[in-house]
């Protein structure tokens, strides 16, 4: 048999966690053939990979890349994860996506999505519509999507602060059921974000039961990752227990000065649950800074009714004073990021009409003009019509390391690719950073374990059959990198700089990165676990 591609003499890190060994890896018809080293197999293209490692392509289990490929044009953003070895992205996280909705709500949701995803990206009634739109856009790597609960809720009730009626909840369950049947990968929530935060535990249990029926996970950005993170984790455990769904905790962290060190309690809790047979996993990104919307710094009632209602309130001095007081005093059940840290930890990442603010903290901007930081944030949000991204320097390194080292933690970038601005470097840097800094330099993980967290573990959790390991007959998504030099190039100042040491990336048997440069191949598909 003549192979399409032979990777000769590489250190094979196969994604199962097994010790690396030297082997030849062949690719034919989009599938792997593992051969003994020195096989001498015949191939159309041969890569002499002595001294390099070959691993399954990385699966980024946590992205917000729902819209970027549909916007078109921004190759630098679309290319960044591919250059880092990511061969599949899972979007629709944190309760937020581009489907589903009742048909009558699609125009309203499309307008909200245009704010959230940085341009008119479209909006669909179900996963099939979303998948068809993506399938029509050539892409280098694969994409899978969760069903976002916040989007689903807005797609039935609108962005309103009230419980769902039984009829509305039944409609939500049926829309979710349809999208999961069409191939969406699970249910996600973002319980700090509006409108997801307006839902009580029972509502999420009812939806998670639908995911459980499909054998798909309940994936959650907890209701609080700061001072009340343990209570929020228990809510997630309750939802999984009552619904029967597997639990996946998104970007696990214990952030803000009142929760630093709390992973010493949350991780043993998760380990005990697993020891009891409870199916729980998590993901993590290798940075002490988070990134989100500036509007998430405001109390939930500020966004009741959607973006137009938020900007109307920001323009009203009385409503502003209520928000200022809520941040100073807290609101029961609300994760108050600024109250847990301060405006000096919040840097502007993206404000398209005010680029001079990007990279500076709200506290810096305020003191430069002798103003109250809350007013600076409120004015900026108003002038940007509700859409400003921030970077929040809210974590400590010890917590990040403890989560990375947990055996059930996989890697997810939480990247939020939107045109312009100065985004968090995690979109481009996460995977090479784990391999370089945390594996080679700090020795926190061995190479086989690090690769498993990026591949096999992720494929198992999200039902990506035939992916995540290098084995005979598996889908030929792979990355060749140099363990001695691999590392992140992206920084907070230059967040899209390419990584070091990532040599070749193959998707569906086609070379999409050769010697660190993107090729013209676009074999990526929408995956339907």
Nearer to Zn ion, 151 or 439 (CB): 151
- Write the CB contacts of 485 (distance below 8 Å, at least 6 apart in sequence): 436, 500, 501
- Whole-number Å distance between alpha carbons of 249 and 255: 15
> Binding segment for Zn ion among 22-30, 217-225, 368-376, 445-453 (CB under 5 A)?
217-225
Tell me which DSSP letter residue 318 carries: H
Rounded to a whole number of angstroms, the minimum distance from the CB of residue 95 to Zn ion is 8
Count of residues in contact with Zn ion, rule CB under 5 A: 2
Among 43, 80, 90, 94, which residue sits at the site for Zn ion (rule: CB under 5 A)?
A: 94
Chain mean position to CA 257: 24
Nearer to Zn ion, 221 or 418 (CB): 221
Helix (H) or strand (E) run with residue 48 in it: strand 43-48
Rounded to a whole number of angstroms, the minimum distance from the CB of residue 480 to Zn ion is 31
Taking CB under 5 A as the rule, does residue 253 contact Zn ion?
Answer: no
Region 114-173 residues binding Zn ion, contact defined as CB under 5 A:
none
> Binding segment for Zn ion among 70-78, 88-96, 204-212, 373-381 (CB under 5 A)?
88-96
> Helices (DSSP H) in 93-165: which residue ranges?
106-116, 127-135, 149-157
How many residues in total does the chain contain?
529
- Whole-number Å distance between alpha carbons of 459 and 20: 19
Rounded to a whole number of angstroms, the minimum distance from the CB of residue 221 to Zn ion is 4
Rounded to a whole number of angstroms, the minimum distance from the CB of residue 374 to Zn ion is 23
- Whole-number Å distance between alpha carbons of 416 and 489: 18
Q: What are phi and psi of 429, to 5 degrees?
A: -105, -15
> Binding segment for Zn ion among 79-87, 216-224, 241-249, 476-484 (CB under 5 A)?
216-224
Rounded to a whole number of angstroms, the minimum distance from the CB of residue 96 to Zn ion is 8
* Three-state SS sequence of 258-272: CCCCCHHHHHHHHHH
Rounded to a whole number of angstroms, the minimum distance from the CB of residue 115 to Zn ion is 17
Nearer to Zn ion, 221 or 433 (CB): 221
Instruction: Say how many C-beta atoms besides its own lie within 10 A of residue 21's C-beta.
Output: 12
Nearer to Zn ion, 198 or 374 (CB): 198
Nearer to Zn ion, 94 or 486 (CB): 94
Taking CB under 5 A as the rule, does residue 426 contact Zn ion?
Answer: no
What's the Cα-to-Cα distance from 163 to each of 159, 201, 350, rounded to whole Å? Answer: 11, 11, 33
> Helices (DSSP H) in 23-96: which residue ranges?
68-71, 75-83
> Binding segment for Zn ion among 2-10, 66-74, 89-97, 433-441 (CB under 5 A)?
89-97
| 192, 172 Cβ separation under 8 angstroms | no
Taking CB under 5 A as the rule, does residue 221 contact Zn ion?
Answer: yes
Nearer to Zn ion, 8 or 253 (CB): 253
Rounded to a whole number of angstroms, the minimum distance from the CB of residue 349 to Zn ion is 15
Which of helix, strand or coil describes residue 164?
coil
Rounded to a whole number of angstroms, the minimum distance from the CB of residue 94 to Zn ion is 3
> Binding segment for Zn ion among 94-102, 222-230, 322-330, 507-515 (CB under 5 A)?
94-102
Taking CB under 5 A as the rule, does residue 389 contact Zn ion?
Answer: no
> Binding segment for Zn ion among 160-168, 214-222, 426-434, 445-453 (CB under 5 A)?
214-222
Rounded to a whole number of angstroms, the minimum distance from the CB of residue 193 to Zn ion is 8
Residue with tokens 């005990």: 272
Rounded to a whole number of angstroms, the minimum distance from the CB of residue 505 to Zn ion is 26
Rounded to a whole number of angstroms, the minimum distance from the CB of residue 146 to Zn ion is 12
Nearer to Zn ion, 83 or 409 (CB): 409
Rounded to a whole number of angstroms, the minimum distance from the CB of residue 77 to Zn ion is 19
- Write the CB contacts of 487 (distance below 8 Å, at least 6 apart in sequence): 432, 433, 435, 436, 437, 499, 500, 501
Pairs from 260-267 (Cβ < 8 Å, separation ≥ 24)? 260/395, 260/396, 260/399, 261/396, 261/398, 261/399, 262/229, 262/230, 262/399, 263/398, 263/399, 263/402, 263/403, 264/402, 265/230, 266/229, 266/230, 266/233, 267/402, 267/403, 267/406
| 95, 188 Cβ separation under 8 angstroms | yes
> Binding segment for Zn ion among 18-26, 202-210, 219-227, 405-413 (CB under 5 A)?
219-227
Nearer to Zn ion, 94 or 366 (CB): 94
Nearer to Zn ion, 79 or 221 (CB): 221
> Binding segment for Zn ion among 4-12, 215-223, 265-273, 508-516 (CB under 5 A)?
215-223
Most distant CA atoms of the chain, gap in Å: 76
The contact set with Zn ion (CB under 5 A) reads 94, 221
């Amino acid at each position: 048999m003549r192979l399409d591609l032979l990777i000769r003499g590489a250190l094979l890190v196969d994604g199962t966690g097994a010790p690396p060994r030297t082997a030849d890896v062949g690719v034919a018809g989009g599938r792997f053939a593992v051969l003994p080293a020195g096989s001498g197999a015949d191939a159309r293209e041969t890569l002499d990979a002595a001294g390099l490692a070959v691993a399954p392509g990385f699966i980024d289990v946590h992205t917000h890349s729902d819209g970027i490929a549909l916007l078109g044009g921004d190759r630098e953003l679309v290319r960044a994860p591919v250059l880092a070895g990511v061969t599949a992205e899972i979007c629709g996280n944190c309760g937020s996506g581009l489907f589903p909705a009742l048909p009558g709500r699609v125009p309203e949701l499309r307008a909200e999505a245009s704010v959230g995803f940085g341009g008119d990206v479209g909006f669909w009634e179900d996963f099939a519509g979303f998948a068809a739109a993506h399938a029509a856009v050539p892409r280098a790597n694969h994409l899978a999507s969760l069903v976002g609960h916040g989007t689903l809720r807005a797609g039935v009730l609108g962005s309103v602060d009230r419980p769902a009626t039984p009829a509305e909840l039944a409609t939500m369950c049926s829309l979710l059921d349809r999208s999961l049947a069409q191939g969406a990968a699970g249910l996600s929530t973002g319980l700090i974000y509006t409108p997801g935060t307006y839902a009580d535990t029972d509502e999420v249990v009812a939806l998670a039961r639908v995911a459980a029926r499909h054998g798909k996970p309940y994936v959650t950005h907890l209701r609080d990752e700061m001072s009340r993170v343990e209570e929020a984790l228990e809510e997630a455990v309750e939802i999984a227990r009552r619904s029967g769904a597997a639990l996946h905790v998104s970007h696990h962290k214990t952030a803000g000065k009142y929760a630093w060190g709390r992973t010493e309690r949350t991780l043993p809790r998760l380990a005990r649950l697993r020891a009891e047979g409870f199916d729980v996993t998590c993901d993590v990104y290798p940075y002490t800074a988070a990134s989100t919307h500036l509007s998430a710094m405001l109390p939930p009632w500020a966004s009741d009714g959607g973006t137009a209602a938020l900007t109307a309130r920001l323009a009203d001095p009385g409503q502003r004073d209520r928000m200022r007081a809520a941040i100073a005093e807290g609101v029961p059940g609300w994760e108050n990021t600024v109250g847990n840290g301060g405006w000096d930890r919040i840097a502007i990442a993206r404000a398209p009409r005010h680029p001079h603010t990007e990279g500076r903290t709200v506290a810096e901007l305020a003191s430069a003009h002798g103003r109250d930081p809350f007013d600076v944030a409120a004015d900026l949000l108003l002038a940007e019509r509700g859409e400003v991204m921030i970077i929040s320097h809210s974590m400590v390194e010890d917590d990040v390391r403890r989560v990375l080292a947990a055996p059930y933690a996989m890697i997810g970038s939480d990247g939020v690719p939107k045109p312009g601005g100065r985004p968090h470097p995690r979109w481009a840097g996460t995977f090479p950073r784990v391999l370089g800094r945390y594996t080679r330099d700090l020795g926190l993980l061995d190479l086989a374990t690090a690769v498993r967290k990026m591949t096999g573990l992720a494929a198992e959790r999200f039902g990506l059959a035939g992916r995540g390991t290098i084995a005979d007959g598996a889908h030929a998504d792979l990355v060749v990198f140099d363990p001695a030099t691999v590392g992140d190039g992206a920084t907070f100042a230059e967040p899209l700089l390419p990584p070091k040491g990532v040599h070749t990336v193959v998707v569906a048997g086609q070379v999409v990165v050769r010697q660190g440069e993107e090729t013209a191949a676009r074999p990526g598909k929408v995956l339907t676990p």
